[in-house]
């Protein structure tokens, strides 16, 4: 059942129908999973409408993977999810940052040097801003990377 799921859009809240489409699961299954997985608690508004946040969509995808792709039972998936949540909590307490899913991109410095060769002042100002942004991003990456 290894079906490619669509990317999650940059939105704050998702309806149950949107989450169903993003995760390849029908809405009635999502409502059932809410009863079985205590970590899954979408916000409810008027008329008991459910609104899921980005982290809940990721959790639903993880639950779906455990049940449909890895063959766990509901009980087994619940236990595995609990283990994973506890492991992430322990890492945070230990000061580690999980960078799962973060891709390290190596950038050739020459592309930034070329940007500095712009003829006008506006181009040079843009190049300077890009250079500063690049330095800050590398500093952030180094702060988030686990010590090797």
Q: Give the pLDDT of residue 78.
A: 93
Instruction: Please write down the HEC assignment for all residues of the chain.
Output: CCCCCCCCCCCCCEEHHHHHHHHCCCHHHHHHHHHHCCCCCCEEEHHHEEEECHHHHHHHHHHHHHHHHCCCCHHHHHHHHHHHHHHHHHHHHCCCCCCCCCCCCCCCHHHHHHHCCCCCHHHHHHHHHHHHHHHHHHHHHHHHCCCC
Q: Give the pLDDT of residue 21.
A: 96
Q: Which fold has domain 14-93?
A: Multidrug-efflux Transporter Regulator; Chain: A; Domain 2 (1.10.1660)
pLDDT over 50 at 59, yes or no: yes
Q: Give the pLDDT of residue 39.
A: 87
Q: Give the pLDDT of residue 67.
A: 96
- The encoded tokens of residue 56 equal 């809940």
Q: Give the pLDDT of residue 33.
A: 96
pLDDT over 90 at 22, yes or no: yes
Cα distance between residue 66 and residue 133, in whole Å: 39
Residues 22 and 57 sit within 8 Å (Cβ to Cβ): yes
Sequence spans of domains, the chain: 14-93, 97-148
Cα angle 7-59-141, degrees, rounded to a multiple of 5: 65
């Amino acid at each position: 059942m290894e079906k490619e799921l669509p990317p999650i859009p940059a939105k704050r809240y998702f309806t149950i129908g949107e989450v169903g489409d993003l995760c390849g699961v029908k809405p009635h299954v999502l409502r059932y999973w809410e009863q079985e997985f205590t970590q899954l608690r979408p916000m409810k508004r008027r008329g008991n409408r459910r609104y899921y946040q980005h982290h809940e969509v990721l959790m639903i995808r993880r639950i779906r993977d455990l049940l449909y792709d890895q063959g766990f039972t509901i009980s087994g998936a619940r236990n595995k999810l609990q283990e994973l949540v506890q492991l992430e909590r322990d890492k945070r307490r230990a000061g580690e940052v999980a960078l799962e899913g973060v891709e390290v991109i190596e950038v050739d410095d020459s592309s930034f040097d070329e940007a500095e060769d712009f003829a006008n002042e506006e181009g040079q100002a843009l190049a300077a801003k890009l250079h500063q942004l690049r330095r800050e991003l590398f500093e952030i990456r180094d702060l988030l990377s686990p010590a090797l």
